[in-house]
Structure 1
Amino acid sequence: MPSVLVSTEIVIGTLLVVALVVLAATYLRRRYIAKGQPLTLCGFRTGGNGNGRWHLGLMRLADNALEWYTLGGVSLRPKRRWLRQSLLLDAPRLLPPEDALALLPDAFGVSCTDRLDSFELALQGPDYTAVRSWQEAAPPGYNVNVA
């Protein structure tokens, strides 16, 4: 009987250690991805036509590009990257209830194009405002004349 108790304790201890390692890795990945830049939860789907499945991820407004990272996983590189100069945002529209995301209540769908690529982002109201302001702002070093 004592050997069963010891085996159970080892299994439970191992599961706790694995859970702590996963939580620590997730936290450290998020901190590394942010790099001091604004980071927000965002939905993404390809095709901009309102069809397809939403994918949740993290969106970062970098200096010269909008970067989208998958929510899970261990990759430190963005899954998608769009340059500020070639990104066009359409007017936001409130997502209908059947298309809404559980983690993004009252999200807006924004159709976007990047050269020939069309896609859609799901953003909360303040996040959309931040992306729109970022996109319309003059990029550093591009014909900027500060007097």
Structure 2
Amino acid sequence: MEIVTWVLIVFAVLAVLLAVWRFLTLRSRGTTILLRRLPASGVHGWRHGTIRYNGDDLEYFKLRSISPMADQVFNRQRLDFHEPRQLTPGEATFMAEGLSVATLCDGGTHYEMALDPPSLTALTSWIESAPHERQERIDHHRLRSRITRGQNGK
């Protein structure tokens, strides 16, 4: 029985340390937001978290998660951005004043993201500045290897 108790204590301490590490590392990097997946009714489904821009990916880290990985990753080539809206009276009861709610569509799944004005501007700029797939630079070495793949070195 003592071994089981010690094992449980060790797991609890590790979980707390991982949660503290995640909180401290993410708090200093990223933007605080609220996110929910649609469809959602009323004011339900909002989750606090942090977003971080990583190249062409937008990484979302839930506040109540101990995973060292991002909980949700959005690729800006697949994101559709819809006009932001103001908070509803119900949302205004638990969200900070001045937030706007942007709707994002990622491959058919819709999300709402509540952000402050500077963060909304940054998100909008990041999405709109994505190069179109046809405008991306061609990697000639990769293209040559794909063309000559089945030609046995000829």
TM-score band by shorter chain is 0.5 to 0.7
Q: Identify unmatched segments of 5+ residues in structure 2.
A: 1-12, 139-154
Shift of 1:129: 0.3
One-letter amino acid of the structure 2 residue matched with residue 131 of structure 1: L
- 3-state SS of paired residue (2:136): coil
Alignment-derived partner of residue 133 in structure 1 = 125
Q: What TM-score do the two structures reach when normalised by structure 2?
A: 0.65
Distance in 2, matches of 1:50 and 1:93, equals 16
Question: Residue deviations 1:89-109, cap 9 Å, x none?
Answer: 111111123113645332111
**When the two structures are aligned, how many residues end up with a matched partner?**
122
Distance 1:50 1:108, change over 3 A: farther
Alignment-derived partner of residue 149 in structure 2 = none
Question: Any runs of at least 4 consecutive aligned residues in structure 1 with deviations exceeding 6 A, and if so which?
Answer: none
Shift of 1:25: 5.3
One-letter amino acid of the structure 2 residue matched with residue 43 of structure 1: L
One-letter amino acid of the structure 1 residue matched with residue 54 of structure 2: A
Alignment-derived partner of residue 58 in structure 1 = 50
One-letter amino acid of the structure 2 residue matched with residue 61 of structure 1: Y
Seq. identity, %: 28
Structural mapping, 1:75-90, within 5 Å: 75-90=67-82
- 3-state SS of paired residue (2:77): helix
Alignment-derived partner of residue 5 in structure 1 = none
Residue from 35, 47, 52 that aligns with 1:44: 35
Structural mapping, 1:109-120, within 5 Å: 109-120=101-112
**Are 2:136 and 1:143 aligned?**
yes
Question: Residue deviations 1:1-25, cap 9 Å, x none?
Answer: xxxxxxxxxxxxxxxxx8xxx5895
Q: What TM-score do the two structures reach when normalised by structure 1?
A: 0.68
Question: Residue deviations 1:45-70, cap 9 Å, x none?
Answer: 11156643211111111111111111
**Matched-pair contact (CA < 8 Å) for 1:61–1:131:** no
Alignment-derived partner of residue 148 in structure 2 = none
Q: Identify unmatched segments of 5+ residues in structure 1.
A: 1-17
**Matched-pair contact (CA < 8 Å) for 1:47–1:118:** yes
